Amino acid sequence: MTRAVLPRALNAARDMPLESLKASRLRLSTHFKTPVSLSLDHRRHISAYGYTQAKALVYSQYGEPKDVLSLHTHSISPPASTSITLRMLTAPINPADINQVQGVYPSKPPMNTSLGTNVPSAVAGNEGAAEVVGLGGSVKSVAKGDWVIMKSSAMGTWRTHMQADENEVLKIDDKTGLTPLQVATVSVNPCTAYRMLKDFTSWDWGAGEWFIQNGANSGVGRAAIQLGKEWGLKSINVIRERPGWEELKKELEGLGATKVVTEEQLMSKGFKDMIKEWTNGGREPIKLGLNCVGGKNATAIAKVLGQGAHMITYGAMSKKPTELPTALLIFKEIVFEGFWVSKWGDRNPVEKKQTVDDVLRMTREGRFKDIPVEEVKWDWETKIEPLKEAVQGTLEGFRKGKSVFVFGKT
């Protein structure tokens, strides 16, 4: 056995029962004439020669997550130069992550064999919070114990550990008072809502002005409600009807929603009159529409927008195209646009950090509430099935909360 194959040997030892592990440690130590440090309490995080043991949800072909995801075990070499080793803390399962695995999302992580998979593979997941656990000799911007998030998408966050360059992560300057969940979910949904509310009107918002949105109970929708309230805006929020939808309505009102309506109400003949009543007979026009649903829902939203308003499409949860009445373009001069936070973040790294910091400041101050989540524990012993089920389940509607991987201290 050479030193080069040691990580593979340790890899195999990792899942051994305790007694075999002790024997294996002794054998390896005798062979290398040096103590092989293999903590029995933290068997997974193997420190011999600084190698870290990791598991990752990978895919080598596009398709339904339940069909294409597999759990790959590998070793990560000690970080050198400006690279850092990260231990994932929490990573959400967002709709875009699924679309990426299905191969229908524009951002596709490259598939390769760098993690020792038999065939070229990519690690799934785009967002998450991680703790720095290892540093290359030239690293300057982070220290062990710091929390970081990914600077860009497609870095593969559904894994227990990863290695990155220090330039690929954003350090959370002050993690006091924050939870890993809050940090793990700040960079996509709240940033999307923040930028859409700030950057897309042809005027500065005045106090008490209106916006309307569908998918209002989504992560982005909840963020828009709260940011709107923070900035003195009034919101009309469309949700899909479900048993007990009044409870959800109350919950959203608690976050700061001015009005909450169901899709059925939005599509009803009486909706225009409701809008008139709320907006002082139309004298307070709705200046912005946010659309992540598409189909008839989006058309109905567009129809109640005021003259010269902007409508931003940022998702298509119904999988139906967004159809727009011609008259809205010609006579009402509505501006229809799209927004993609990944592209925005790549083009505006400084503003991205400022946006993340601002949302985390509000979170710390108790003015930005956590999204409801369903935790999916991911310990070293966790098998692939519950992980795959959690990913696949995200495609179903009417969920109680967003599924998030919560990593054990492996």
Q: Using CB under 6 A as the criterion, what x/- string covers residues 314-333 for binding ligand NAP?
A: xx-xx---------------
Residue whose CB is less far from ligand NAP, 303 or 402: 402
In angstroms, the CA 378 to CA 56 distance is 11
Strand partners of residue 403 = 374
Using DSSP, state whether 71 is helix, strand or coil: strand
Residue whose CB is less far from ligand NAP, 88 or 341: 341
Which residue in 89, 181, 341, 391 binds ligand NAP (CB under 6 A)? 341
Residue whose CB is less far from ligand NAP, 278 or 339: 339
Instruction: Name the residue among 272, 255, 354 with its Cα closest to residue 306.
Output: 272
Q: Is there binding between residue 228 and ligand NAP (CB under 6 A)?
A: no
Catalytic residue check, 105 = yes
Sign of CA dihedral 59, 60, 62, 63: negative
Residue whose CB is less far from ligand NAP, 231 or 398: 398
Annotated catalytic residue: which of 51, 59, 105, 194?
A: 105
Which residue in 217, 235, 258, 355 binds ligand NAP (CB under 6 A)? 217
* Least distance between ligand NAP and beta carbon 126 (Å): 10
* Least distance between ligand NAP and beta carbon 96 (Å): 5
Q: Is there binding between residue 220 and ligand NAP (CB under 6 A)?
A: yes
Residue in the block written with tokens 């305790």: 18
Which residue in 62, 205, 278, 340 binds ligand NAP (CB under 6 A)? 340
Contacts of 25 (CB under 8 A, 6+ apart): 13, 36, 38
Give φ, ψ of 169 to 5 degrees: -120, 155
Q: Is there binding between residue 352 and ligand NAP (CB under 6 A)?
A: no
Residue whose CB is less far from ligand NAP, 32 or 344: 344
* Least distance between ligand NAP and beta carbon 311 (Å): 14
Judged by CB under 6 A, the chain residues 94 through 113 that form the site for ligand NAP are: 94-96
* Number of residues forming the site for ligand NAP (CB under 6 A): 24
From the number of C-beta atoms within 10 Å of its C-beta (0-12, 13-18, 19+), residue 278 rates as: middle
Contacts of 409 (CB under 8 A, 6+ apart): 42, 87
In angstroms, the CA 360 to CA 184 distance is 11
End-to-end alpha-carbon separation of the chain, Å? 27
Residue whose CB is less far from ligand NAP, 292 or 309: 292
Judged by CB under 6 A, the chain residues 237 through 296 that form the site for ligand NAP are: 240, 292-293
Contact between residue 152 and residue 128 where contact means Cβ atoms under 8 Å apart: no
* Least distance between ligand NAP and beta carbon 187 (Å): 10
Q: Is there binding between residue 215 and ligand NAP (CB under 6 A)?
A: yes
Which residue in 402, 404, 405, 407 binds ligand NAP (CB under 6 A)? 402
Structure tokens at 296: 């008839």
* Least distance between ligand NAP and beta carbon 393 (Å): 11
Q: Which pairs count as long-range contacts for 52-55, CB under 8 Å and 24+ apart, including other chains? A: 52/76, 52/85, 52/133, 52/134, 52/161, 53/10, 53/11, 53/14, 53/161, 53/410, 54/159, 54/160, 54/161, 54/162, 55/159, 55/160, 55/380
* Least distance between ligand NAP and beta carbon 367 (Å): 19
In angstroms, the CA 307 to CA 300 distance is 15
Which residues contact ligand NAP by CB under 6 A? Answer: 94-96, 188-189, 192, 215, 217-220, 240, 292-293, 314-315, 317-318, 339-341, 397-398, 402
Which residues are annotated as catalytic? 105
